[in-house]
A and B are shown apart, each in its own frame.
Chain A
Amino acid sequence: MDHTRDNPLKRFSAFWIALLLVTAFGIACFILRPLTHGKVDAAYEMTGEDRLTIKADIDKVQADTLNVGALNRALEAKTKDLIKQPSAGNMPVPEAAPAPADKPADKPADKPADKPADKPAETPAE
């Protein structure tokens, strides 16, 4: 055995170097991960900037062409017409059914109706 090459210290250091080499791949991945994410986000941001510019242009053109005074006048006139007409809620309902009497408080609300167990609730269509 060549003791200059093979001794406990050499083996100990070789063990840690080998372990470091293996874990280095994982460490490298953790370091590289934010870099790859940053690149993807920048691409989306670049596209987003163009979209926002186009949207601003459209908003500006729409704002310029919109006549706010005329729109308000038209809305006021329509509102007055609607107030003059009677609404469906104010009209009497013909032959309305009397309101049901209050149930006793101790009766559970979700108690099922007494029916024979073998009788279906609804008769199926023949």
Chain B
Amino acid sequence: MAETTSTADSNGAALRASIDRSLRHPVMFFFTSGAAWLAVAIVLGLVASAKKHAPEFMTCCSWLDAGIVDAAHMSALIYGWGVQAAFGIIIWLMARLSRKECTNVGTILVAGHFWNATVAIGVICIMTGNGSGIPWMEFPSFVWPVLIFCFVLITIWSLIQFQVRDSGHVYVSQWYLLAGLLWFPWIAVTAYLFVFVFDGNPVMATGIAAWYKGTLFLLFFVPMALASAYYLAPKVTGRPVFSYDLALFGFWALAFLGPWAGMQKLVGAPIPQFLPYAGAAAMVLILIPAMSVGVNILKTVAGYGDVVAESPSLRFTASGVVLFVVYGFLSAALHLVPSMKMTQFSYSGYGLDILGLYGVFSLCAFGAVYFIVPRITRREWLSRRFIKWHFYLSLYGVVSIVICAIIGGVSQGQGIEDLSQPFGTMAERASQYGWGVTLAWGFLLIANLFFCLHLLLMWARLGRRSSHPTLLKAHHGESPHGPEGEIDNYGSASA
């Protein structure tokens, strides 16, 4: 009996190792190019933020005008970093959970290169003044069909792996992965056709663009973050998910509420009045899936505080989940009817976007990167200090951005509403907080330089050859990681 179990374990470890080997190049390509785009996005974010409180900053370059650099910053953050990090998570996680090797590495890599080239062309078009000017869809119209085609070429193999998986349990992570894989083409194709192709009413095109912005986060980035969190929390702690019923409820709550979000930005626009208020209601009710996921994941890791503190993956993931709960509360507060007057045309929406994209999605994605990369490169992370700096500076930076942007935005909104004051007063109120946001982007830049450098060293297989994971605990004895050793065996792929 014991012999049979041992053989099964050995076969399982061999299968996991072969899956990791098959995915080494595409996953590392997406993570590394995503990290490079993240650095670009942060530099652009720094300039865009500085322009908000110091309009004279870098006026020498017309391609760094406030509107242009802001659009380029968000596009690089979303399509350069966000979607590529999601690609890495999707293809690795789906292969592992379906227990299938990847047999289409070449196609994925070619499509990945096309994706990067297209994003680069899109960003250049924006910076030369040829962007579309539509929030989160700033790339010119010819870029979108290529991006959608590349997305399909990269992810369709994961759908096939799910379809041909060995019969058995479908994990919570797989629900979210599968949903995100189908929701992205739905919202991207619909938004592209109605905004750029069909000659419909331009007001409704604006409404659909706003809907795309809301749903891209809730129906693609959130599912990817939660897929990673629902995989890592039980995996690292060695405990099952706290409640499957709660997980099911959270999933369907997100699936039901997500498609309604987005149009709250158009309150007062000449569109059917129920649409903005339905969007606002969805953004208020998003607290429900946020709470259910938060309770479920945090109860799963409850009692394992030392593991959360020591494991880089779990530390980032737990922070991302906590910030998702914060996102739910802030979203509810900022989309109530009385507060929408203060937030509709102010800086606070940007704070909520960055909380979602960086605080929720990116922190969970960093957690996944710290877990996946050692397994596919068969090397351990070089420096726990780099990881610690990345974590603390990221957390400090994103929390500072959110606090400054939201408080500054509400103050700005009060200035707009106060008709007895000149318009300049409103700008003065926001500029103080703008300084804070710029400083916080500086922290994020330093954090991600550590991350990018660390990732490049790992891709070059310059990581530690050790059978012990890199843990964030204090030095004891000779090495915090235990004795060094050969890891070119199945041990590194056993987790």
Contacts and interface: CB of A to CB of B under 8 A. Distances in A.
A19 B189 contact: no
A2 B189 CA distance: 35
A14 B160 contact: yes
A5 B98 CA distance: 12
A21 B164 contact: no
Given A2-B167, A10-B164, 14 more contacts: A1-B166, A5-B167, A6-B100, A6-B165, A7-B164, A14-B160, A18-B156, A18-B160, A19-B156, A22-B189, A26-B189, A26-B193, A30-B193, A36-B204
Contact of A14 (B152, B164, B194, B200): B164
Interface in A24-46: 25-26, 29-30, 33, 36-37, 40
B190 interface: yes
Contacts of B190: 25, 29
Given A19-B152, A22-B189, A29-B189, A36 B200 contact: yes
Nearest to A18: B159
B201 interface: yes
A40 B186 CA distance: 24
Interface string B158-192: 01100111110000000000000010011001100
Interface string B195-230: 000101100100000000000000000000000000
A15 B160 contact: yes
Contacts of A40: 201
A25 B200 contact: no
A14 B100 CA distance: 14
B163 A14 contact: yes
A38 to B, nearest CB: 12
Interface of B: 100, 152, 156, 159-160, 163-167, 182, 185-186, 189-190, 193-194, 198, 200-201, 204
A11 B189 contact: no
Chain A interface category by residue count: 20 to 34
B161 to A, nearest CB: 9
Interface of A: 1-2, 5-7, 10-11, 14-15, 17-19, 21-22, 25-26, 29-30, 33, 36-37, 40
5 contacts: A2-B167, A11-B160, A18-B160, A30-B193, A36-B204
Contacts of B165: 5-6
Contacts of B159: 14, 18
Q: Which 7 pairs of residues, A with B, have the shortest CB-CB distance?
A: A14-B163, A6-B164, A18-B159, A22-B185, A14-B160, A25-B189, A29-B193
A10 B167 CA distance: 14
Contacts of B160: 11, 14-15, 18
B152 A22 contact: yes
A5 B164 CA distance: 5
Contacts of A17: 163
A2 B166 contact: yes
A89 B167 CA distance: 103
Given A25-B189, A36-B200, A15 B156 contact: yes
A19 B194 CA distance: 21
